[in-house]
Structure 1
Amino acid sequence: MRTRHKPWAKEKLAQFPQYVIQDPVSHKGSWAEVFHNENPLHIEVGTGKGSFITGMAKAHPDINYIGIELSESVIVAALDKIVEEELPNIKLMNLNAADLEECFAKGDVDRVYLNFSDPWPKTRHEKRRLTYKDFLKIYENILPDKGEIHFKTDNQGLFEYSLSSLSRYGMTLTFVSLDLHNSDFEGNIMTEYEKKFSERGQRIYRLEAHFN
């Protein structure tokens, strides 16, 4: 679904520097100073309207979270949630996933979440998929050794592609669910898309994997 352009979004993001990181490159290698603690840092690439990242921050106050989203018109909805909750362990970044290495050094990030990413189904768009090998290399370069990726989608084709892509890259799959909501997995926090799709009866796929 096309997002309605919000011309005021950029100005609003600038009004909340306590939640929206204005110059992420300057914090590379020193994210503990941003959060004023040494807690683990988890990021969600493609945070959308923020339901997942906000829910995770509430459920795990001893972990720091950053929601990363390219669209200003989308990320302002996540900002509204964070402002309402006043959570100290969550920030937002308006950033392209391809630029993550400019903002994070090796080991800065402890876990990457990819939730309901654009499937880019056409073969010629494979390089845009967030589980394509070039993106996996980026994640590897900001995670510690054996750093983890957690991935959820409703798209069977993207899930099958991702299983193959991660395996070819040499990652170890530690959890795979072909029907998450009918499994015994505990502690699931839903995204906006996940709630909508599951209410329609669509199957949700999930995996966890780590680099070797």
Structure 2
Amino acid sequence: MRVRNKTWAEPLIEAHPELMVTDPLQNKGNWQERFKEKQPIQIEIGMGKGQFIIQMALKYPHINFIGIEIQHSVGAIALKNALKEKLPNLQLVLADGANLDEYFDNGEIKRIYLNFSDPWPKKRHEKRRLTYKSFLHVYQEILVEHGALELKTDNQGLFEYSLVSLNNYGFVLEDVFLDLHHSDEALENVETEYEHKFSEKGQRIYKLSGHF
């Protein structure tokens, strides 16, 4: 997601350290302290403008959510949207999602969401895909025992790659949807910005979920 630099972004981020974390290394092992209640923590890697993570926090108040975004201008939009809701179970993080083991302690997270990640289609970029084995190892480390992972994408190639990569890693697949929006799962599905855009154009949405 490419968004032009916004002059208001940095001032807004600096004004709300209670909601937007810019140095996640300082919170490793202590994320529960940033929430009003001690509850299971779920994270989204690449939250974009925050539509998914905000709606999830609204829908599931008994769960603590963390949205992670690397681009400051995009993260600032998510922050602006989150401030309207005043959710005690939501935190936002400006950071690279590739360094999760530096931000979270072993077993600190309950569930991870990978929504419409960059597919990195070229073979030479395989190691950058968020379902490559090195990423899966990090996920397993920060997740609780039998912690969950969910992936949604419109990219068939990434979806098929992820199925193979996860299976080879020993991941236990629980649900696989080849057309999410035309399945029973659609009733409970919370959309991302990209998902809404793609589905409106008639593109198929793929989803998988399971645990390590």
Once the two structures are TM-superposed, the CA of residue 132 in structure 1 deviates from its matched residue by 0.9
Residue in structure 2 matched with residue 195 of structure 1 by the alignment: 196
Residue in structure 1 matched with residue 210 of structure 2 by the alignment: 209
Residue in structure 2 matched with residue 126 of structure 1 by the alignment: 126
Residue in structure 2 matched with residue 153 of structure 1 by the alignment: 153
Alignment of 1:23-62 (within 5 A): 23-62=23-62
Once the two structures are TM-superposed, the CA of residue 3 in structure 1 deviates from its matched residue by 2.5
- Between stretches 109-118 and 94-103, larger displacement belongs to 94-103
Q: Return structure 1 stretches of 4+ with deviation > 4 angstroms.
A: none
Deviations 1:169-197 (A, max 9, x none): 11010000000000001310000000000
Alignment of 1:40-119 (within 5 A): 40-119=40-119
Paired positions, count: 211
Deviations 1:41-85 (A, max 9, x none): 000000001000000000001100000011111111111110111
Secondary structure at the counterpart of residue 68 of structure 1? strand
Structure 1 unmatched ranges of 5 or more? none
CA distance, structure 2, for counterparts of residue 154 and residue 95 of structure 1 = 24
Higher strand share: 2
Once the two structures are TM-superposed, the CA of residue 8 in structure 1 deviates from its matched residue by 4.5
Q: What amino acid does structure 2 have at the position aligned with 1:110?
A: K
Secondary structure at the counterpart of residue 84 of structure 2? helix
The answer to whether the 8 Å contact 2:22/2:95 transfers is no
Once the two structures are TM-superposed, the CA of residue 98 in structure 1 deviates from its matched residue by 1.8
Structure 2 unmatched ranges of 5 or more? none
The answer to whether the 8 Å contact 2:36/2:89 transfers is no
Deviations 1:77-122 (A, max 9, x none): 1111101111111111011112111111111110000000011111
CA distance, structure 2, for counterparts of residue 28 and residue 161 of structure 1 = 31
The answer to whether the 8 Å contact 2:152/2:206 transfers is yes
Question: Identity, % of aligned pairs?
Answer: 54
CA RMSD, 1 decimal: 1.2
Q: What amino acid does structure 2 have at the position aligned with 1:204?
A: I
CA distance, structure 2, for counterparts of residue 7 and residue 167 of structure 1 = 45
**TM-score (ref. length: structure 2):** 0.96
Deviations 1:155-181 (A, max 9, x none): 101100110111111101000000000
Q: What amino acid does structure 1 have at the position aligned with 2:193?
A: E
